[in-house]
Amino acid sequence: MKILTIDLEDWFHILAHSETERPEQWERFESRVERNTDRILEALDQRNIRATFFVLGWIAERFPELVKRVGEKHELACHSYSHQLLYKQSRKEFAEDLKRCISTIEQVSGQKLRIYRAPGFSLQRDHHYIFEELCKNKIEIDASVFPAVRNHGGIPGFPFASPCLIKGSNFLIKEFPMSTSSLLGKQIVFSGGGYFRLLPYSIIRSKMKSSEYVMTYFHPRDFDPEQPMIQSLPMKRKFMSYVGLKGSFEKYSKMLDQFPHTSIGQADESIDWTGVPVVHF
Ligand SMILES: [Zn+2]
């Protein structure tokens, strides 16, 4: 099962960086999200692939036509309104942001939202209240668990890198975590972000082949070598943000040609949830 997901945000939606982390800073940047997303949509159309798009409420508010267009053929999901790290928000702030995201996207698209992904996979082990709020807001599926070490959050000891149920005293949610793979003794995510752009296609292909479950995550900016570079990013983040932009669309197209991909909704239908493991939170 290879699942295709796109986080629908712009080139300046870079977390935890003083020049780009707050919504009031975003208005002054020139957007590139429409042209970059249209290129992605075209590639999916040509191959008849349905993907899941995790949309920022902020984007849906400014580009309603784009989000409507995406929603005509693809599944829309919630990626928060203002793209803030979960562990920097209070429960109240999280709940308000979530509600605003869901209502904005639902209003624009007419689709009911039932899937969520946290900004930057910033979900942590003590975030049971996040799941409580998701369930209160009729979210049935989460895709926020990053079962490896990560700069922002991540749950390194999480027991599964494949679909499972997460259960708390007053919630039950279906989880589609990121898939991980080992590279030189380290658990990495090859199916999105810096590693996807950095690794040669031969490695991506062999990892795709040998993994039964792959959760991908791409952004429109991942395929845009012309985007402005944020010069003040620390060296390592700059490298991981901009490495391999030139060849990435070609690599991504090859991957789509060689491996069938589905949306989270399609994957959900194909799973017998009575047989999947349960993680207690
Ligand atoms: Zn994001």
Helix axes 201-210, 245-258, angle to 10 degrees: 30
Report how far ligand 1's centroid is from the alpha carbon of 119 (Å): 5
pLDDT average, residue stretch 209-226: 96
Report how far ligand 1's centroid is from the alpha carbon of 137 (Å): 20
The DSSP code for 125 is T
Report how far ligand 1's centroid is from the alpha carbon of 210 (Å): 27
Average pLDDT over the chain reads 95
Tens-digit pLDDT profile for residues 78-137: 999 999 999 999 999 999 999 999 999 999 999 999 999 999 999 999 999 999 999 999
pLDDT average, residue stretch 260-266: 98
| pTM, entire model | 0.97
Report how far ligand 1's centroid is from the alpha carbon of 10 (Å): 9
Report how far ligand 1's centroid is from the alpha carbon of 122 (Å): 10
Report how far ligand 1's centroid is from the alpha carbon of 80 (Å): 9
Q: What is the pLDDT of residue 264?
A: 98
Tens-digit pLDDT profile for residues 225-236: 999 999 998 988
What letter represents residue 122's amino acid? S
Report how far ligand 1's centroid is from the alpha carbon of 130 (Å): 17
Report how far ligand 1's centroid is from the alpha carbon of 163 (Å): 21
Give bridge partners of residue 75 from the DSSP assignment: 52
Q: What is the pLDDT of residue 18?
A: 87
Determine which of 180-189, 213-222, 266-275 has the lowest per-residue pLDDT on average.
180-189
Task: Show the tokens assigned to 280.
Answer: 């207690």
Report how far ligand 1's centroid is from the alpha carbon of 262 (Å): 20
Report how far ligand 1's centroid is from the alpha carbon of 172 (Å): 24
Report how far ligand 1's centroid is from the alpha carbon of 219 (Å): 8
Give bridge partners of residue 73 from the DSSP assignment: none
Tens-digit pLDDT profile for residues 14-45: 988 888 999 999 999 999 999 999 999 999 99
Torsion angles phi and psi, residue 38, rounded to 5: -60, -35
Percent of the chain with pLDDT strictly greater than 70 = 100
CA angle (42, 102, 150) in 5-degree steps: 75
Report how far ligand 1's centroid is from the alpha carbon of 274 (Å): 31
Q: What is the pLDDT of residue 147?
A: 92
Which region, left, alpha or beta, applies to residue 234 given φ > 0 means left and ψ of -120 to 50 means alpha?
Answer: beta
Q: Residues in the chain, how many?
A: 281
Task: Show the tokens assigned to 138.
Answer: 């009729």
Report how far ligand 1's centroid is from the alpha carbon of 275 (Å): 31
Percent of the chain with pLDDT strictly greater than 90 = 87
Task: Tell me which architecture the domain covering 2-270 has in CATH.
Answer: Alpha-Beta Barrel (3.20)
Q: What is the pLDDT of residue 187?
A: 86
Q: What is the pLDDT of residue 240?
A: 86
Give bridge partners of residue 187 from the DSSP assignment: 182
Q: What is the pLDDT of residue 83?
A: 97
